Amino acid sequence: MKNLLFLALAVALLASCRSSRKISSVMVIKDTTVAVVNPVEDDSARVARETMSRLGERRIDFNTFAAKVKVDYRDSKDRKYDFNAFIRIRKDSAIWVSVIAALGIEAFRVIIKPDSVAILDKLEKTIQYQSVDYLQQITQLPFDFVTLQDLIVGNPVYMQGDIKSFQDKGSQYAVSMIGPFFKHFMTIDKANTNLLLSKLDDIDPGRSRTASLAYDDYQPNGTWQFANQRRITLAEKTKVDVDMEFKQVEFNKPQNYPFSVPRNYKLK
């Protein structure tokens, strides 16, 4: 069960509307900035460029973050786990997580840094040290520290690639991109440029890996809009669904990141 709990946590922290009308001019996105390489631009290309530019401008820029997250985990083997996690972030430096299991008992404490992961298992009294690549192993996604912190605060991820199509769907825009790892399909609210759905399909024809991240219940938090409800689905050989409800969300408040290893804990 401990591995499932940590997997659910990792999935919950990750990732991560198809359209049919092609854009006549080719555009390239890097870090949410659109560059038009074909000077000939029709209306759909112009609206797509402006939409993606606004989406980039809405990225949450912060120093510290803290929240309580209610996590509901379900998989294709009918396994279900519900738990709470407390998350704190110091931007580009540390992600601290405390996982609370049944009866309010702290099961895990995790500290993730740009180059390392440490997992304190308080049930089995062990400590495990891994490189940050461990997160890629357990989630099967191309993944680093910056991507993880963006996923937690709700910033768009995996935005590198070519925009292939754009569609006006009334109250929403649908955008299709192809990047180095995924075909990325996004649904964006037309009125406020909130990201509603991000769907990733593996470009490797030998794999059927998909990941989707749905955002809901956007609420103002300081100068930003924060999605308090998330649903993550990962599928390849099996399927995992994770619902996340964020509460007590705070930005730029003083935080500490306690992580001490008791002497009686064994190295795993």
Spatial separation of the C-alpha atoms in residues 251 and 149, rounded to whole Å: 13
pLDDT band at 60 (very low <50, low <70, confident <90, very high): very high
Q: What is the pLDDT of residue 7?
A: 46
Tens digit of pLDDT for each residue in 81-130? 888 999 999 999 999 999 988 788 898 899 999 999 998 999 899 999 98
The mean per-residue pLDDT over the stretch 51-76 comes to 91
Residue 239's Cβ-side half-sphere holds a number of Cα atoms within 13 Å equal to 5
Bridge-based pairing of strands 182-189 and 172-178 is antiparallel
Query: Going by C-beta distance under 8 Å and a sequence separation of 6 or more, which residues neighbour residue 149?
Result: 65, 89, 91, 92, 95
Calculate mean pLDDT across residues 243-255: 95
Over range 166-187, report the average pLDDT.
90
Q: For CA atoms 159, 164, 169, 170, give the dihedral sign.
A: positive
Percent of the chain residues topping a pLDDT of 70? 83
pLDDT of residue 93: 96
The verdict on domain 2-16+18-257 having CATH code 3.30.720.120 is no
Rounded to the nearest integer, the mean pLDDT of the chain is 81
- Under DSSP, the state recorded for 21 is P
Q: Which residues of 34-60 are buried (b: 16+ CB within 10 A; e: fewer)?
A: beeeeeebeebbebbbebbeebbebbb
**Residue 145 to residues 77, 195, 203, 232, 250, Cα–Cα distance (Å):** 30, 21, 23, 19, 20
